[in-house]
Amino acid sequence: MATKIIYFTVNGRSEQAEFTEDCPTQDVKDLFRSAAEAGPHDILKMYTPRGNITNISPNLEPNSPTSCYQLEVVAADCNSEPLGVEIAGALGFDLFSMEKRLQGLEKKILLEVGETPAVVYEMKREVDSFRHKLESVEHLSWLGLFKDLSDGTHKPSPFYHKRSLHKTREECEHVQEKFLQMRSLEVSEEVRQYLKTPTFDNWQWEDAEMMVLLQLMFSDLDFNSIFNIEADVLHHFLFEIYRRYNNIPFHNFKHCFCVTQMMFGLIWLTDLRSTMDTIDLLIMLTSAICHDLDHTGYNNAYQINARTELALRYNDISPLENHHCAVAFKILERDECNIFRNVSMDQFKRIREGIIRCILATDMTRHNEILNKFKSIQPCFDFSNKDHTDVLMMILIKVSDISNEARPMEVAEPWLDCLLQEFFNQSDMEKLEGLPVTPFMDRDKVTKPSSQTGFIRFVLLPLFMELKNLFPCLEQHIIHPVQKALDYYTEMETALERENQNQN
């Protein structure tokens, strides 16, 4: 099939596009959108050499460099709808819904046939490829619209480049109003029991509903009565927590909820109420809620290499985790948000030390240090030994923090997509700023299965196995699902390698 070359100008520079006459219309539009550094929010207008507006399609008439088309970008309304909704409207379908349907189809096939056919992997790769294309175009628009990177506090949110990094007042007021309306509702016994399991599906719940469920966790563990936590204070605390999680793909309020819900589930599954002090359970649950407060979507390596304010403030030592702690205690400084305001001075000291210790343990650079310490005390673990329980608390928050793969695949896989969005945006920024590029975040080198197989095999399973050794009951709840996830991504990686070999 013959190709045609279209010469055009955009943003004052000359460009040329080449495509075949049978090229899909959407691909042609994506091509021009990419050249214009425009995102899905933006409207493109193409003018003929005579100045008439024309449709962007494969039917554009070929021209010469002396007779150029003119491409213009018209910014759409940035605040009308969240990015995913606008993309869904523009495309005529919801990418997330399509992925959920595909996962459901795959589950049915597995139950009936016993293995996943190659065609399902092909469909998943096409969805991933389409997502990648959208994100790549999104990234170009993001860089084009936000060239001034001098002030870190005003950097755009990764991926959601048209939304502010921090939640707007309108956003918060809307969720707070819903939370106020729902916080006194009676939660069914079925939901109460479901909340205690690793199979809990966070995608079915809105932010305000998740705050109600966090509130429920406090009451179900008797924290409100034991530590005299007033209902209004807990409400204000949870709302401030919600407000201080940012609009980023992964380290957001939903992630905070998932980590806390897994911690809540582990407390019940392992019957920690009978072996640990209630104050330690309070420390662990609160640490999970606060563990990623005000995360901006860029990890410690980026903070240190970019010499950000956080890295300078904390001397390159766990800058993010130190910041999460500081934000948590800044919230607790406010009397109306201080859920610990009725505990004794000694109790507060223990709580503060415990929360700091737990949140700092989520820095993955300390992973081997903490895991090896746990291994060394494992054979003679003693719940009456504070040093032992301190290490166990760190292990439990680490397990909760990286526990997505212990959940059902239809819950876990969308989280991986969110994580890769955040990773890829960081590596894009590193390339833009001339910083060392984090290898496992590079969109040009990492595939979905390759990002998981090594992580599950060398990080997740060894950690989870050690916890299972202390609590054998966890094997069916967290070990089996993670092993299934490893098989799933290993099979996907093999299929991808086989396809690449066939193409070469």
DSSP string, 33-82: HHHTT--TTSEEEEE-TTS-EE--STTPPP--TTS-EEEEEE---TTSS-
CB 321 within 8 A of CB 362: yes
Instruction: Report how far residue 385's alpha carbon sits from residue 280's, in angstroms, rounded to the nearest whole number.
Output: 13
**Catalytic residue (choose from 251, 255, 291, 295):** 251
CA distances (Å), origin 72, targets 32, 139, 229, 313: 10, 18, 57, 43
CB 26 within 8 A of CB 46: no
Amino acid in the structure at residue 360: L
Beta partners for residue 16, in sequence order? 7
Instruction: Report how far residue 99's alpha carbon sits from residue 72's, in angstroms, rounded to the nearest whole number.
Output: 33
What would the two tokens of residue 310 be? 């956080």
Pairing between strand 3-10 and 13-20?
A: antiparallel
Q: What is the dihedral of CA 38, 39, 40, 45, to 10 degrees?
A: -10
Catalytic site includes residue 41: no
Residues in the chain: 504
Q: Return the H-helix or E-strand segment holding 10.
A: strand 3-10
Classified as helix, coil or strand, 438 is coil
Amino acid in the structure at residue 432: L
DSSP string, 462-491: HHHHHHHHH-GGGIIIIIHHHHHHHHHHHH
Instruction: Report how far residue 422's alpha carbon sits from residue 298's, in angstroms, rounded to the nearest whole number.
Output: 8
Rg, the chain, Cα only? 25
What would the two tokens of residue 361 be? 């343990």
Residue 89: which residues within 8 A CB-CB, separation 6 or more?
A: 81
- CB-neighbour burial class of residue 136 (10 A; exposed 0-12, middle 13-18, buried 19+): middle
What per-residue string of b and e applies to 201-231 under the rule 16 or more CB within 10 Å gives b?
ebeebebbbbbbbbbbbbebbebbeebebee
Cα 401 from chain centre? 11
Q: Which residues are catalytic?
A: 251
